[in-house]
Amino acid sequence: MRLRYLAGLLLVPGLVLPVPALAETRKPYEKQPVAEGYGGAVATVDLDASRTAIEILRRGGNAVDAAVAASATLGVTEPFVAALGGGGFFLYYDARTGRVHTIDGRETAPAAMRQDSFMENGAPIPFAEAVTSGLSVGAPGTVRQWELALRKWGKMSLRQVLQPAIEVARRGFTVDEEFIAQTAVNLDRFKDIVPTRELFLPGGNLPVLGSTFRNPDLARTYRELAAGGPDAFYRGSLAAEIVDAVRRPPVDPASTRNVRPGLLTVDDLRGYRAVLREPTRVGYRGLDVYGMAPPSSGGSTVGEALNIISSLPKTGDRVEALHRYLEASRLSYADRGRYVGDVPDVPLKELLSTGFARERACLIGERAMPHPATPGSPDGTYGGCPAAGGTPDPLTYEGPQTTHLTVADKWGNVVAYTITIEQFGGNGVVVPGRGFLLNNELTDFSFIPSATDPNLPGPGKRPRSSMSPTIVLKDGRPFLAVGTPGGSTIITTVLQILLNRVDFGMSLPEALAAPRATQRNTPSTFAEQAFIDAYGPALTARGHTLALFPGPPAGFIGAATGIEFTGHGRIQAVAEPTRRGGGSALVVRPLDDDD
């Protein structure tokens, strides 16, 4: 979504750092999937967000400042995937200490939520109805996450980093095909919800290609946050307005849509905390792979699959390697379903142990194993090749509509940040007069109570996520950082990018572009057509059933971004080249820069 201003940041009040006259002398920013150079880099799905980050870096901000600023801008230009009303997971490599930190900004269930809150008359609420409801709204985590990241590691204030997004919201951006497509998939429900219709359906219709989309309400909301800090979101009138929109969804009285009220209270908002968590870490081929711990299953599931693969003897045969990737993924999803969620007893250390990986790997044979794979026993006692026990828990549905951004600065700090409001358009409810949509993240919980499911709703719980922001170190220094949207396919996309880059000798741009397949302990392996064309016959001969990924969007999995550190301070920023309209990679000092 293209921005209307060229050098707006130069005029931004609140940016107190010295401002060189850059924009006049530099080439205009162009949307391109790969950029190489020095001095800092960013990759996002969106040129406006990338431009925001690079301007912050050029003005002396660090990777944390730039990541927060870019995510706020995405809240304007990608309002259906990233908004104040959502949450996310933030990974940060601190160049000064050489350590990786994470912040969990996951949405949190209200105190009144129970394990059967999505059940009615003994049956689960139809999924689509649960999505477009107040029930699906968790206390948003984004603003507290920004606050914590800036306070711990940033150089700028929230007020400063919000300025670019305020400008974009005020001046507007040019509506493109992707924005229209994302509105179109929401058309029916947006029509029924009054403030959503007023904001996103001008005159009751889809926005027009090439028109300017302004969001003065969001500009005002951001200004209130800039002036009042995070408490302006979590307490006071905005908090009361959010709660009102959740408990009395503003549905058009003429509509017959059943939009159930939610359970969120002002106390839930006031009590929200972003949480610093230890990252997950596994070694893979001499690299250290860091990821997000529970309540995300990203770090543990990516890590377990990598451990399983590396416990097998190396192979140079691509089909064999892909077979192992699919089988390792299948097994890891079985374990994720049984053991990972926002519960106190996740056996994280054992799930990521090499002993457990070896025990699981011995189930991988010549042919695809029978469906479903059952969970293993991460109990600290390993050996032999035990038949796994127990019944697998069902794969919970997670929408494919998040966004991931990756940023590095000239000091060597790195951020991998995945943000979401869950579905395209979240729960469909714009907080009246506030310019942002609410999340439907609580539909990531399982709906049907079960004694063995670690992902049941409950008071103050965070739904299990698949988000997998990932930072890879080599000899203690950043090698690459990556992440993607895609609901539960996030894990397999990140895995594939790592395998493509590390084992298959692809460059990072090739690794992101390569066709994908996703095996999440489902009977069929879903894949993109190009993957089926290339490997379908060989994998079918090994017992796999391949089918076109049903979407949404049909046939395409993920839209990743990443950064590779290619040595001597040189950086390669990489965004998705084509899926979802492609992304935007920028560096502070491009290789071809004359100055």
In terms of residues, how long is the chain? 595
Near ligand GLU by CB under 6 A: residue from 104, 268, 304, 422: 422
Residue closer to ligand GLU, measured from CB, 249 or 486 = 486
Residue closer to ligand GLU, measured from CB, 163 or 396 = 396
Q: Is 385 exposed, middle or buried, given 0-12, 13-18 or 19+ CB atoms closer than 10 A?
A: exposed
What mask of x and - would describe binding to ligand GLU in positions 438 to 467, judged by CB under 6 A?
Answer: ---x--x--------------------xxx
Q: Which is nearest to 42 in space by CA: 14, 20, 61?
A: 61
Where b means 16+ CB within 10 Å and e means fewer, 56-75 reads bbbbbbbbbbbbbbbbbbbb
Kindly state the smallest distance separating residue 295's Cβ from ligand GLU, in Å: 9
> 404 pairs with which residues across the strands?
418
> 561 pairs with which residues across the strands?
483, 575
Near ligand GLU by CB under 6 A: residue from 147, 393, 398, 409: 398
Residue 276 is which amino acid? L
Q: Does 494 bind ligand GLU (CB under 6 A)?
A: no
Kindly state the smallest distance separating residue 324's Cβ from ligand GLU, in Å: 25
Q: Does 110 bind ligand GLU (CB under 6 A)?
A: no
Residue closer to ligand GLU, measured from CB, 153 or 556 = 556
Residues 23 and 384 sit within 8 Å (Cβ to Cβ): no
Near ligand GLU by CB under 6 A: residue from 279, 392, 428, 485: 485
Residue closer to ligand GLU, measured from CB, 162 or 340 = 340
268 three-class SS: helix
Q: Does 401 bind ligand GLU (CB under 6 A)?
A: yes
Q: Does 73 bind ligand GLU (CB under 6 A)?
A: no
Q: Does 402 bind ligand GLU (CB under 6 A)?
A: yes
Q: Does 341 bind ligand GLU (CB under 6 A)?
A: no
Residue closer to ligand GLU, measured from CB, 398 or 453 = 398
Q: Respond yes or no: is residue 402 known to be catalytic.
A: yes
Residues 590 and 47 sit within 8 Å (Cβ to Cβ): no
Residues 6+ apart with CB under 8 A from 76: 48, 165, 168, 169, 173, 215, 218
Q: Residue holding tokens 């870490």?
A: 281
Residue closer to ligand GLU, measured from CB, 71 or 420 = 420
Near ligand GLU by CB under 6 A: residue from 154, 303, 400, 582: 400
What 8-state DSSP symbol labels residue 553?
A: S
The secondary element (H helix, E strand) that includes residue 450 is: none
Residue closer to ligand GLU, measured from CB, 442 or 472 = 442
Q: Which is nearest to 246 in space by CA: 97, 44, 109, 88?
A: 109
**Cα Dmax for the chain:** 69
How far apart are alpha carbons 163 and 391 in whole angstroms? Answer: 51
24 three-class SS: coil
Residue closer to ligand GLU, measured from CB, 356 or 417 = 417
Could you say which of 73, 142, 221, 402 is catalytic? Answer: 402
Integer CA distances (angstroms), 311 to 304, 306, 360, in order:
11, 9, 10
Q: Does 486 bind ligand GLU (CB under 6 A)?
A: yes
Kindly state the smallest distance separating residue 145's Cβ from ligand GLU, in Å: 14
Residue closer to ligand GLU, measured from CB, 77 or 374 = 77
Kindly state the smallest distance separating residue 131's Cβ from ligand GLU, in Å: 11
Kindly state the smallest distance separating residue 399's Cβ from ligand GLU, in Å: 5
Q: Name the one range near ligand GLU by CB under 6 A: 72-80, 161-169, 215-223, 400-408.
A: 400-408
Q: Radius of gyration over alpha carbons of the chain, in Å?
A: 23
Q: Does 558 bind ligand GLU (CB under 6 A)?
A: no
What number of H helices and E strands is found in the chain? 19, 21
- Binding residue count for ligand GLU, defined by CB under 6 A: 16
Concatenated DSSP letters of 312-335: SPP---HHHHHHHHHHHHHHHHHH
3-state SS, 224-239, equals HHHHHCCHHHHCHHHH
How far apart are alpha carbons 382 and 568 in whole angstroms? Answer: 43
Kindly state the smallest distance separating residue 440's Cβ from ligand GLU, in Å: 9
Q: Name the one range near ligand GLU by CB under 6 A: 27-35, 327-335, 395-403, 517-525.
A: 395-403
Near ligand GLU by CB under 6 A: residue from 399, 478, 536, 582: 399
489 three-class SS: helix
Q: Name the one range near ligand GLU by CB under 6 A: 32-40, 365-373, 379-387, 484-492.
A: 484-492
Kindly state the smallest distance separating residue 342's Cβ from ligand GLU, in Å: 12
Contact residues toward ligand GLU (CB under 6 A) are 398-402, 420, 422, 441, 444, 465-467, 485-487, 490
Catalytic residue annotation: 402
